């Protein structure tokens, strides 16, 4: 139980390396996240939280250093293996929600599993179950561009959960929400965490990093880890 | 990937196409228009060539005309006997024919004297052909009958070169495999043709020569030319080549005029090939980020390109077919037929060259699918991280 599900070692990420606009986004980060952790990456804008979340979520590869997922080094896997990990292990909630415009709530939730061999009727049923769980069933056939910010985020949460992921990643999830909706979001995250999911959130919002169940808070600044607090 | 996953991706593709229905409808319209125009030109020129071949199928291997000052003149019938004596010649028949402009309906007719060999390639829809020496009767093509509102038993009046009105009882109406062959045709007895055109006695329009061995025709033509230096023997093969060149040239001319539209289509395809909209790129990034593989995205884009291009292609081809064979290619026929302004209307027999259709499909559908897939592939191989960063 206490073995890290994700372990990074001297993780470093440059953007545009060797060019005039080179940026060092993450520098030598070594952290361990345990299975069932509620982890928060905390820090101001430009501190490297989002890049760190991308690296952990197999959205990009590190320039140097390594990431192990359940003991397996995934730092330099070919793209199709990383895609497979994203599809089977992770559920990602984006800061801008990133729902597909013009499609309904239900279709957006079903989206990650379209290119799999799951039957569409079964997939639809599962998506409806998730929408029911987050109180969005009434909006299932609405086009997503007509939803409020809170509703869009709940749709994004349902989409992140459609593949029954072990790890849920969220990038600045409360940035576009008012206090009440932010608390709502945290309640959903708490519920997932209590069901055994590993939750990793990047945020600079106190509602997120000051909550009592955030077992691990990693404070970042200028791409490096400044402080790690484990409760 | 299982069949289910392919069906799911196809399902998503259709949803995706419906989301941008106005944009996609616009592309379908432009694509259909291009295929319609190109398909019409191909159908029309191919049908003309086939019609010409049908006309020539029953014609003699050799036609001998007399030339004077570079123009065709009537030829003495007496030369038929001398030509018959050339080894390899199986028969020579004087032909009496000419063109007649009908100011009533502003159409040009072909007037031909009835002969034994005439009925070989033509069938009469109704009635009979005039006998070679019969007077006062005519068999007419469907184009003539339609233009003059005449039927079996009606009378058709023509004005002779001497200015006399000549009435003919219609005893037959033509049906032919090629309507181009008989649409403008009026067949009369030989004495009536001679009188109508005021032809001198013992003169014919030209001589039709049949030979025993077709490969010998050029040699026989050479012998005729050396015996009668003022004649022009025309080989059937040469006529076929000329038809081919004329219709090939005419369709090429229209295609050149149409090049502007083609260029617009190429620009559209190029625009698609060189870049996706920011929204499309973002969507590809989202799909990658939530677990779609690059191959899934390429498959989706393949379906998207195929659905749009194939449906546009089929629609364009069907419209071109209807346009050419049901509406007489009203848009292009004047340019392709050339002399059609004074020609009675006729309907083309449907001839389709599968090779041409396959070529047109290869030149429109495949580039379009490629122009859909390539930029999407380029977008799909970039890190989904860019989407996460907004």
CB contact under 8 A, A79 and B279: no
Residue range B231-265, pLDDT digits in tens:
999 888 777 777 666 666 656 666 665 665 666 66
Which chain B residues are within 8 Å of A101, Cβ to Cβ?
A: 19, 279
| Closest residue to A117, CB basis, from B4, B11, B385 | B4
Q: Above 60 in pLDDT, residue B336?
A: no
Q: CB under 8 Å to A195, separation ≥6 — which residues?
A: none
Is the CB of residue B82 less than 8 Å away from at least one CB of chain A?
no
Among B264, B328, B256, CA closest to B43: B328
Average pLDDT for residues B325-342, to the nearest whole number? 63
Cα–Cα distance measured from residue B199 to residue B231, given in angstroms and rounded to the nearest whole number: 19
| Closest residue to A96, CB basis, from B7, B292, B390 | B390
pLDDT of residue B205: 94
Residue range A97-112, pLDDT digits in tens:
899 999 999 999 999 9
| Closest residue to B388, CB basis, from A102, A107, A171 | A171
Cα–Cα distance measured from residue B6 to residue B18, given in angstroms and rounded to the nearest whole number: 19
Q: Number of helices (H) and strands (E) in chain B: give both, helices first.
A: 14, 14
Residues across chain B: 390
Burial of B103 (0-12, 13-18, 19+ CB in 10 A): exposed
Q: CB under 8 Å to B317, separation ≥6 — which residues?
A: B35, B36, B39, B357, B360
Q: Above 70 in pLDDT, residue A134?
A: yes
Using DSSP's 3-state secondary structure scheme, residue A156 falls into helix
In B, minimum Cα distance to A116 occurs at B5
CB contact under 8 A, A116 and B293: no
Cα–Cα distance measured from residue A23 to residue A21, given in angstroms and rounded to the nearest whole number: 6
Cα–Cα distance measured from residue B230 to residue B136, given in angstroms and rounded to the nearest whole number: 35
Q: Which domains does chain A have, with CATH numbers?
A: 4-89+165-230 (3.40.50.300)
- Spatial contact of B121 and B58, defined as CB atoms under 8 Å apart: yes
Q: Above 80 in pLDDT, residue A52?
A: yes
Which helix (H) or strand (E) segment holds residue B298: the answer is helix B294-325
- List the structure tokens of A122: 């079964």
Sign of CA dihedral B251, B257, B259, B262: negative
Strand order in the sheet with A90-93: A90-93, A167-171, A198-203, A38-42, A216-221, A224-230
Q: Above 70 in pLDDT, residue A185?
A: yes
pLDDT of residue B329: 75
pLDDT of residue B340: 41
Which helix (H) or strand (E) segment holds residue B15: the answer is helix B3-19
Which helix (H) or strand (E) segment holds residue B269: the answer is helix B259-274
Average pLDDT for residues A175-191, to the nearest whole number? 88
Q: CB under 8 Å to B42, separation ≥6 — which residues?
A: B251, B320, B353, B356, B357, B360
The pLDDT confidence band at residue B342, using thresholds 50, 70 and 90, is very low
Token pair 């694509």: residue? B31
Average pLDDT for residues B200-225, to the nearest whole number? 91
- Spatial contact of B65 and B345, defined as CB atoms under 8 Å apart: no
* ipTM computed for the complex: 0.90
Among B89, B217, B71, B98, CA closest to B79: B89
| Closest residue to B383, CB basis, from A60, A80, A101 | A60
Is the CB of residue A175 less than 8 Å away from at least one CB of chain B?
no
For chain A, percent of residues with pLDDT exceeding 90: 74
- Other C-beta atoms closer than 10 Å to the C-beta of A87 total 20
Residue range B379-390, pLDDT digits in tens:
888 788 876 665
CB contact under 8 A, A83 and B294: yes
One-character DSSP codes across B23-64: HHHHHHHHHHHHHHHHHHHHHHHHHHHHHHHHHHHTS-SEEE
Start-end of CATH 2.40.40.20 domains in chain B: 62-234
Q: Above 50 in pLDDT, residue B341?
A: no
- CATH number for the segment(s) B62-234: 2.40.40.20
Is the CB of residue B215 less than 8 Å away from at least one CB of chain A?
no
- Spatial contact of A228 and A216, defined as CB atoms under 8 Å apart: yes
> Alpha helix locations (H) across A5-138?
49-56, 79-88, 105-110, 120-133
A–B: how many Cβ contacts below 8 A? 102
Cα–Cα distance measured from residue B345 to residue B180, given in angstroms and rounded to the nearest whole number: 9
- Spatial contact of A189 and A134, defined as CB atoms under 8 Å apart: no
Out of A18-22, B2-6, B297-301, B316-320, least confident range:
B2-6
C-alpha to C-alpha distances, B241 to B52, B108, B209, nearest whole angstrom: 10, 25, 19
> Alpha helix locations (H) across chain A?
49-56, 79-88, 105-110, 120-133, 149-161, 179-194, 206-209
Mutate to test the interface with B, among A25, A102, A113, A114 (most CBs of B within 10 A): A114
- List the structure tokens of A15: 């953007």
Q: Above 50 in pLDDT, residue A224?
A: yes
**Residue A148 half-sphere exposure toward CB, CA atoms < 13 A:** 6
- List the structure tokens of B218: 């050029």
Q: Above 80 in pLDDT, residue B50?
A: no
Average pLDDT for residues A79-93, to the nearest whole number? 91
Cα–Cα distance measured from residue B177 to residue B187, given in angstroms and rounded to the nearest whole number: 17
Residue range B141-199, pLDDT digits in tens:
888 888 888 888 899 999 999 999 999 999 988 875 556 667 788 999 999 999 999 99
């Amino acid at each position: 139980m206490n073995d890290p599900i994700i372990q990074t070692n001297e993780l470093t990420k440059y953007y545009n390396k060797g060019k005039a606009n080179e940026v060092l986004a993450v520098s030598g980060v070594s952290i361990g996240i345990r299975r069932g952790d509620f982890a928060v990456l905390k820090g101001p804008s430009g501190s490297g939280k989002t890049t760190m979340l991308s690296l952990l979520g197999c959205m990009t590869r590190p320039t140097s250093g390594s990431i192990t997922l359940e003991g397996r080094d995934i730092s330099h896997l070919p793209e199709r293996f990383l895609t497979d990990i994203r599809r089977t292990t992770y559920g990602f909630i984006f800061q801008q929600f990133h729902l597909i415009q013009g499609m309904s709530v239900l279709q957006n939730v079903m989206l990650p599993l379209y290119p799999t061999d799951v039957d569409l009727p079964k997939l639809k049923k599962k998506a409806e179950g998730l929408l029911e769980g987050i109180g969005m069933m009434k909006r299932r056939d609405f086009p997503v561009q007509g939803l409020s910010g809170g509703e869009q985020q709940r749709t994004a949460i349902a989409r992140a959960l459609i593949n029954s992921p072990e790890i849920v990643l969220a990038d600045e999830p409360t940035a576009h929400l008012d206090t009440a909706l932010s608390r709502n979001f945290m309640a959903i995250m708490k519920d997932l965490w209590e069901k055994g999911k590993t939750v990793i959130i990047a945020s600079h919002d106190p509602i997120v990093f000051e909550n009592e169940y955030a077992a691990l808070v990693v404070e970042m600044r200028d791409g490096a880890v400044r402080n790690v607090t484990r409760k | 990937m299982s069949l289910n996953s392919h069906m799911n991706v196809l399902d998503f593709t259709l949803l995706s196409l419906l989301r941008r229905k106005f944009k996609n409808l616009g592309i379908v319209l432009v694509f259909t228009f291009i295929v319609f125009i190109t398909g019409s030109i191909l159908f029309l020129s191919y049908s003309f060539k086939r019609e010409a071949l049908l006309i020539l199928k029953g014609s003699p291997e050799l036609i001998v005309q007399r030339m004077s000052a570079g123009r065709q003149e009537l030829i003495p019938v007496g030369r038929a006997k001398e030509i018959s004596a050339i080894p390899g010649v199986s028969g020579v028949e004087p032909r009496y024919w000419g063109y007649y402009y009908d100011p009533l309906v502003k159409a040009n007719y072909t007037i031909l004297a009835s002969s034994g060999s005439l009925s070989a390639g033509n069938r009469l829809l109704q009635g009979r052909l005039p006998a070679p020496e019969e007077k006062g009767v005519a068999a007419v093509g469907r184009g003539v009958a339609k233009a003059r509102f005449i039927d079996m038993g009606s009378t058709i009046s023509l004005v002779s070169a001497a200015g006399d009105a000549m009435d003919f009882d219609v005893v037959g109406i033509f049906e032919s495999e090629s309507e181009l062959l008989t649409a403008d045709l009026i067949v009369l007895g030989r004495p009536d043709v001679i009188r109508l055109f005021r032809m001198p006695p013992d003169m014919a329009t030209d001589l039709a020569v049949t030979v025993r061995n077709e490969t010998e025709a050029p040699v026989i033509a050479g012998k005729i030319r050396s015996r009668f230096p003022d004649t022009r023997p025309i080989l059937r093969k040469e006529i076929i080549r000329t038809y081919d060149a004329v219709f090939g040239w005419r369709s090429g001319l229209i295609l050149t005029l149409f090049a502007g539209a083609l260029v617009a289509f190429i620009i559209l395809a190029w625009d698609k090939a060189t870049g996706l909209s920011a929204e499309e790129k973002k969507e590809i990034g989202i799909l990658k980020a939530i677990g779609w593989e690059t191959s899934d995205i390429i498959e989706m884009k393949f379906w998207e390109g195929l659905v749009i291009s194939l449906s546009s292609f089929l629609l364009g081809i069907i419209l071109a077919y209807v346009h050419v064979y049901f509406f007489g290619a009203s848009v292009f026929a004047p340019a392709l037929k050339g002399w059609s302004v004074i020609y009675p209307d006729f309907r083309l027999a449907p001839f389709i060259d599968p090779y041409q259709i396959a070529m047109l499909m290869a030149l429109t559908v495949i580039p379009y699918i490629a122009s859909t897939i390539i930029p999407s592939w380029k977008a799909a191989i970039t890190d989904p991280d860019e989407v996460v960063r907004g």
